Amino acid sequence: MTHVARIDEGARTGARRRVDALAKPLGALGRLEDLAVWLAGVQGTSAPVPPREVSVVVFAGDHGVTGDGAVSAYPRAVTAAMVREFLRGGAAVNVLAGAHGARVRVVDLGVDDDLTDTPPEVRRHKVRRGSGAIQREDALTVDQALAGLAAGRAIADEEVDAGADLLVPGDMGIGNTTVAATLVGTVLGLDADQVVGWGTGVDDETWRHKRDVVAAALERARPYADDPVALLRSVGSADLAAGTGFLLRSAERGVPVLLDGVVSGACALLAERSAPGAVAWWCAGHRSTEPAHRAALASLGLAPLLDLELRLGEASGALTALPLLRTAALLLAGMTTLDSVAPPVPEQV
């Protein structure tokens, strides 16, 4: 059972009042105003501060769905190679985190490689190597789905206990847009055509195969549309289970999250289904080109901060949006009020 923490409505009201009093026309800072009010609600103060301790967690895993003909433009071995690169510091997530002052942690939940050359910390939460081919078999056992969820929760706890004031989920796993599309399609009752995208940049023939794979997986998953754990078992994966647990725990601990692309969007949809109201703790950093991401955000009622046609994952969209969140807080804190600058109303004679 997830007990969603309460958003501070008083702080939101106070921040809205302050925003409206600032030295600008009413509403002139557009969605930056809403962002400042959101931050106030999740920080529990009408004077929110820019998030300082930003913790990015990249959940990594491989997907059995890549086994029967390509659903991705890249081979499975790229997952392990990119995990190693995250540790070396040359991936997009590293550059963006460095630029914007965030910490990156990579966690292997299901990479199809033992990664014995990486620090034990990376592999501590490993559930299995790869997941089942969801078009014809379960992705996980129930125990593995629960282990993935528990790992995500534990990781959120570790980050929050270490002082994180903003959590950012990222993803790495060849084939994961196929899994995310299946989860979103199942939860929202959509067809494969409505959720399947081009992922890493597949050609038309691969797209059609991907669509058929998702259609078969949707068929298997339909009976579990209202049961997030059964969904993760049948058509999910250990890394997406962990992403879902991470988001659930953020809402329990009352720590805000900046969401990334279609993978965190699918996790958010599952987490919101299992803990209605949790979405109040999450902000959508961006909208990717994946149709399933668009559908997930619309269903969650989240308006993305950016729409830059990104299609990378790794938390890259969320980190690109991070400065906007800080900007919103700085404007609220630093601007003076209109009544301190406006010429006084002339007195009647």
Ligand X SMILES: Cc1cc2ncn([C@H]3O[C@H](COP(=O)(O)O)[C@@H](O)[C@H]3O)c2cc1C
Ligand Y SMILES: O=C(O)c1cccnc1
Which sequence positions are flagged as catalytic? 314
β-strands 102-110, 54-61: how paired?
Answer: parallel
Do 243 and 59 meet the contact criterion of CB atoms below 8 Å apart? yes
Q: Is 135 in the site for ligand X (CB under 6 A)?
A: no
Residues 175-214 touching ligand Y, rule: CB under 6 A, are: 177, 199-200
Q: Is 261 in the site for ligand Y (CB under 6 A)?
A: yes
Task: Report which residue type is found at 271.
Answer: A
Instruction: Name the binder of 257 from ligand X, ligand Y, none, CB < 5-8 A by kind.
Output: none
Q: Which of 49, 154, 312, 335 binds ligand Y (CB under 6 A)?
A: 312
Question: Which residue in 132, 127, 130, 129 sits closest to 245, CA to CA?
Answer: 127
Task: Report which residue type is found at 221.
Answer: A
Nearer to ligand X, 55 or 177 (CB): 177
CB of 306 to ligand Y, least distance (A): 12
Instruction: Name the binder of 335 from ligand Y, ligand X, none, CB < 5-8 A by kind.
Output: none
Nearer to ligand X, 19 or 295 (CB): 295
The pair of structure tokens assigned to 86 is: 């995250």
CB of 290 to ligand Y, least distance (A): 4
Instruction: Name the binder of 72 from ligand X, ligand Y, none, CB < 5-8 A by kind.
Output: ligand X
| Whole-number Å distance between alpha carbons of 52 and 215 | 43
User: Left, alpha or beta for 335 (phi > 0: left; psi -120 to 50: alpha)?
Assistant: beta
How big is the site for ligand Y, counted in residues (CB under 6 A)? Answer: 12
> SS3 of 25, please?
coil
Question: Which residue in 175, 173, 209, 146 sits closest to 65, CA to CA?
Answer: 175
Residues 160-219 touching ligand X, rule: CB under 6 A, are: 171-178, 199-200
CB of 23 to ligand Y, least distance (A): 38
Phi/psi for 258 (5° steps) reads -105, 110
Residue nearest to ligand Y (CB): 261
Do 286 and 260 meet the contact criterion of CB atoms below 8 Å apart? yes
Q: Is 293 in the site for ligand Y (CB under 6 A)?
A: yes
Strand (E) or helix (H) holding 57: strand 54-61
> SS3 of 285, please?
coil
CB of 180 to ligand Y, least distance (A): 8
Residues 6+ apart with CB under 8 A from 223: none
**Rounded to whole angstroms, what are the CA distances from 39 to 47, 59, 253?**
9, 25, 15
Nearer to ligand X, 61 or 256 (CB): 61
Phi/psi for 235 (5° steps) reads -135, 20
Instruction: Name the binder of 288 from ligand Y, ligand X, none, CB < 5-8 A by kind.
Output: ligand Y
Residues 254-313 touching ligand X, rule: CB under 6 A, are: 312-313
Nearer to ligand Y, 289 or 327 (CB): 289
Q: Is 250 in the site for ligand Y (CB under 6 A)?
A: no
Q: Is 63 in the site for ligand Y (CB under 6 A)?
A: no
| Whole-number Å distance between alpha carbons of 303 and 109 | 30
Q: Is 2 in the site for ligand Y (CB under 6 A)?
A: no
Do 243 and 263 meet the contact criterion of CB atoms below 8 Å apart? yes
Instruction: Name the binder of 293 from ligand Y, ligand X, none, CB < 5-8 A by kind.
Output: ligand Y
CB of 56 to ligand Y, least distance (A): 14
| Whole-number Å distance between alpha carbons of 34 and 48 | 12
CB of 270 to ligand Y, least distance (A): 16
Residues of this chain that interact with ligand Y (CB under 6 A) are 177, 199-200, 261-263, 288, 290, 293, 311-313
Residues of this chain that interact with ligand X (CB under 6 A) are 72-74, 78, 82, 171-178, 199-200, 312-314
